[in-house]
Amino acid sequence: MSELKVDLGDRSYPIYINKGLLNSNSPLVSHIKSKRVCIVSNDIVYPLYGEKLVNILAEFDIDSIILPDGEAEKSLTNFDRIMSHLLTNHHGRDTTLIALGGGVIGDICGFAAACYQRGVDFIQVPTTLLSQVDSSVGGKTAINHPLGKNMVGAFYQPNAVLIDIDSLSSLPEREFAAGMAEVIKYGILGDGEFFSWLENHRDAILAKESHILSEMIRTCCQCKADIVAQDEKEAGLRALLNLGHTFGHAIEAEQGYGVWLHGEAVATGMVLASKLAVNKELLKASDLRRIESLISAFSLPTEAPADMGFDSFVKHMKRDKKNIGGCLRFIVPTAIGQSEMRDDVTEEELKQIL
């Protein structure tokens, strides 16, 4: 079993990565401090893995709340459902919430944990590739608002992250591909060797060879853990993890949450950010071609929606959390393995690529 550490002083926590972590001898129970547990999951994941998790937690007093599946469910309505469930079932401040599912479940469960009685423990058990390599690590929790993605949330760290590679076997191909967008992101923004590794191991990744997936997930988690340890609340360095997200969040909000998967929108966003960098003579055209090629290799989109033009993008970008003083800010690659934040992008430059 691989074990990493997110080093945040007294809020540090481990990330466990292995096959079969939901079957037996799980380290999960060592991170629960009381007898009371609430599992938060959805109606797709819970029938697959809920019983396994309950068996692991046999010594605890367990209840669960099962939400509908989908990005649109990361809402204030479902946040209220979780709060009401916890209150109705008399959960105290010593309870532990366990997020069993993908990024939507992890985000809304984590935000509920941050808010319930001013903060209770929670544990991430991510079951999608996207959540395993990105959203389960680092303590970003949130719900969506009709006017913007992840606009209501908190930085709140879990007690532990438990990644069972076997859960990827039930993941639909489209969801697996969406997760690969976040994987590729790490290579573009800060690890050129990892980007090359992804190019060289494309076929093994598509074949879902377990040792390759384990190495890939570990690399991504280590990269994010290192960045979070240096900049937990996104004051500077951590903002680079938003590569592609300014464009991607605009696509999600305009098209409707769940129409484009988050990873699909981020994939297109990374291509658009790369095109912007090429136009500003910050990135070689040959690097753009490599980025487009690797993204396409995993059946991810590289073009913005045909019905979404400049004005549609900008209205959402103006609500981006990276903006300061009304100035749009973009993460752009300057080479494969290097990226930076820019606040000197003109409307004309955006129009050229949109």
Dump pLDDT digits (tens) for 56-67. Answer: 999 999 999 999
Q: So what's the pLDDT on residue 257? A: 86
Known active-site residue 211: no
Of 136, 151, 170, the domain-final residue: 170
pLDDT greater than 80 at residue 25: no
Residues 110 and 194 in one domain: no
Known active-site residue 347: no
Of 145, 170, 195, the domain-final residue: 170
How many angstroms separate the CA atoms of 333 and 326, rounded? 23
Torsion angle, alpha carbons of 334, 336, 340, 344, to 10 = 40
Longest Cα separation, the chain: 62
Residues 149 and 208 in one domain: no
Q: Kindly state the DSSP code that residue 303 receives in the 8-state scheme.
A: S
Residues 134 and 36 in one domain: yes
Residues 186 and 288 in one domain: yes
- Range of 107's domain? 2-170
Known active-site residue 342: no
Residues 108 and 219 in one domain: no
Which whole-number Å values give the CA distances from 225 to 63, 100, 229, in the listed order? Answer: 31, 21, 6
Residues 151 and 236 in one domain: no
Residues 207 and 151 in one domain: no
Q: Kindly state the DSSP code that residue 28 receives in the 8-state scheme.
A: G
Active-site residue (options: 52, 159, 242, 316)? 242
Residues 287 and 231 in one domain: yes
pLDDT greater than 80 at residue 279: yes
Dump pLDDT digits (tens) for 187-212. Answer: 999 999 999 999 999 999 999 999 99
Q: So what's the pLDDT on residue 251? A: 95
pTM of the model: 0.93
Active-site residue (options: 234, 252, 254, 292)? 234
Residues 181 and 163 in one domain: no
Active-site residue (options: 73, 182, 232, 264)? 182
Tell me the average pLDDT of the chain: 95
SS3 content of the chain, % helix, strand, coil (to 5): 50, 20, 30
**R_g of the chain, CA atoms, integer Å:** 20
β-strands 36-42, 61-67 pairing: parallel
CATH code where residue 195 lies: 1.20.1090.10
Known active-site residue 5: no
Known active-site residue 323: no
Known active-site residue 91: no
First CA to last CA distance, the chain: 45
Residues 133 and 260 in one domain: no
Count of structural domains within the chain: 2
Residues 49 and 88 in one domain: yes
Q: So what's the pLDDT on residue 126? A: 98
pLDDT greater than 80 at residue 326: no
Of 137, 170, 203, the domain-final residue: 170
Q: So what's the pLDDT on residue 147? A: 85
CATH code where residue 162 lies: 3.40.50.1970
Residues 80 and 189 in one domain: no
Q: Kindly state the DSSP code that residue 68 receives in the 8-state scheme.
A: P
Q: Encode burial over 135-163: b for 16+ CB neighbours within 10 A, e otherwise.
A: bbbbbbbbbbbeebbbbebeebbbbbbbb
Of 76-85, 252-261, 292-301, where does mean pLDDT reach its minimum? 252-261
Active-site residue (options: 36, 149, 185, 224)? 224
Q: So what's the pLDDT on residue 130? A: 96
Dump pLDDT digits (tens) for 124-162. Answer: 999 999 999 999 999 999 999 988 889 999 999 999 999
Dump pLDDT digits (tens) for 159-188. Answer: 999 999 999 999 999 999 999 999 999 999
